[in-house]
Amino acid sequence: MTESIIRRFTPGLHHLQMDTGLQTTPGGASQTTFSLVPGHGRHFLRFQKTLIAVSRDRMDRSFDSHGQPFETIKMTTLYAHRHVFENIFQEAHALSQKSVEGKTVVFTREGMQWVPLGEPRRKRPFESVVLEEGLANKILSDVKEFRNARTWYLDRGIPYRRGYMLHGPPGTGKTSFVQALAGELDFNIAMLSLSQHGLHDDLLNRLLLHVPPRTIVLLEDADAAFTNRKQRDEDGYAGGTVTFSGLLNALDGVASAEERVVFMTTNHIDRLDEALIRPGRIDMMVRLGEATEWQMSQMWDRFYATLDEDGSRKKLFLERVGAYGIHDSISTAALQGLFLYNKDDPDGAVDMVGELAATKKQNSQPASGPAS
């Protein structure tokens, strides 16, 4: 009887709409998902044996910063069952947390706010980025010490924030290390390039004031605030307009946010002003340089440890690297390109050391394979 009355007075009860989504399978393939969700209008749902009236309405000519129309959803139930809404939100929160468990969410700028960049990514193992011996653990220990010192900062009236500058030539693992660090700390990443089109001082300050919780801020191309970007690009666009003073104010001005960890990267440390890299704005300067012999040895083990148990081919590889004089002169990205081209083939990697030396002169990676 009750259901017949509901159907009689709520003609929109069965109006559903299709909600599509894109998920990435463990194998890396994309898979489209389809879900039936209540469409606009009135509906009745049952949750934990409680009947809930749901009204979904779209506000005409009102749009959010993503260009999506504003909507209102009103849920109504009997007063005696009002606590069911707490259960709904708790279950929704648990499902949301489960969807990102063991993953890193990367946020990027869209309009005036942070939004997830694609699907959450599997956490990158901390040991997968091989820096100079002891350097990765030094940075990790410093971040952990900062995270545990909140009371110490507040008791002394010191702004509770920490800044790091990673500099060095391209391909040395600056961005990759921040991704691995975030995974180790169970943090997310809010990534922003200071040379991005449309970014200006006020927007940068607003974004840094509203960073999602447990999130590392990654500001790439830090030198962009020091170069002349007024010259138009090929498409006629003048580029970003973040100024030097705007960057400084966003980092530690009166209105800047606290409880924040910021990593900045640059390939051109010589373009930075001393005012930026002073303590309080940048607390630790770290250069990520070309691959040392130790790094080469560690990367060899990551790729070929099970195929070179006695280490004889690694020894030969390092001897050839020394003979060609390419210690401390090629990037870890170039070395990884060589190993990827010769995956499961340590002998091939040894044979291509000469190719690796050639790429040093040509300033290119060997991942394209041997020259014909």
- With a cut of 60, say whether residue 230 has pLDDT above it: no
Q: Judge contact between 20 and 3, C-beta under 8 A.
A: no
> At residue 64, what is the residue type?
D
Question: What is the DSSP secondary structure assignment for residue 120, as one 8-state letter?
Answer: P
Q: pLDDT tens, 127-166?
A: 999 999 999 999 999 999 999 999 999 899 888 999 999 9
Question: What SS3 class is residue 287?
Answer: strand
3-state secondary structure 161-191: EEEEEEECCCCCCHHHHHHHHHHHHCCEEEE
> At residue 121, what is the residue type?
R
CA-closest candidate to residue 360, choices 315, 327, 336: 327
CA distance 317 to 28: 32
Question: What is the DSSP secondary structure assignment for residue 124, as one 8-state letter?
Answer: P
How far is residue 151 CA from its own chain's centroid?
Answer: 28
**Mean pLDDT on 217-242:** 63
- Residue 228: per-residue pLDDT: 45
Confidence of residue 30 (pLDDT cuts 50, 70, 90): low
Q: Is the dihedral of CA 267, 273, 277, 280 positive or negative?
A: negative
**Mean pLDDT on 89-106:** 82
Alpha helices in the chain (DSSP H): 2-9, 84-99, 135-147, 150-155, 174-185, 201-209, 244-252, 293-304, 312-324, 332-341, 346-351, 353-362
CA distance 199 to 91: 37
Phi-psi region of 180 (alpha: psi -120 to 50; beta: other; left: phi over 0): alpha
Q: Between the ranges 49-63, 169-183, 236-250, where is the mean pLDDT highest?
A: 169-183
- Residue 369: per-residue pLDDT: 42
How far is residue 295 CA from its own chain's centroid?
Answer: 24
In terms of Cβ atoms closer than 10 Å to its own Cβ (0-12, 13-18, 19+), residue 172 is buried
Instruction: Please count the CA atoms within 13 angstroms of the CA of 272 that sit on its side-chain side.
Output: 23
- Residue 237: per-residue pLDDT: 40
Instruction: Pick 72 or 258 by higher pLDDT.
Output: 72
- Name the CATH architecture for the domain at 116-287: 3-Layer(aba) Sandwich (3.40)
Predicted structure pTM score = 0.75
Q: Judge contact between 225 and 244, C-beta under 8 A.
A: yes
Q: Judge contact between 221 and 170, C-beta under 8 A.
A: no
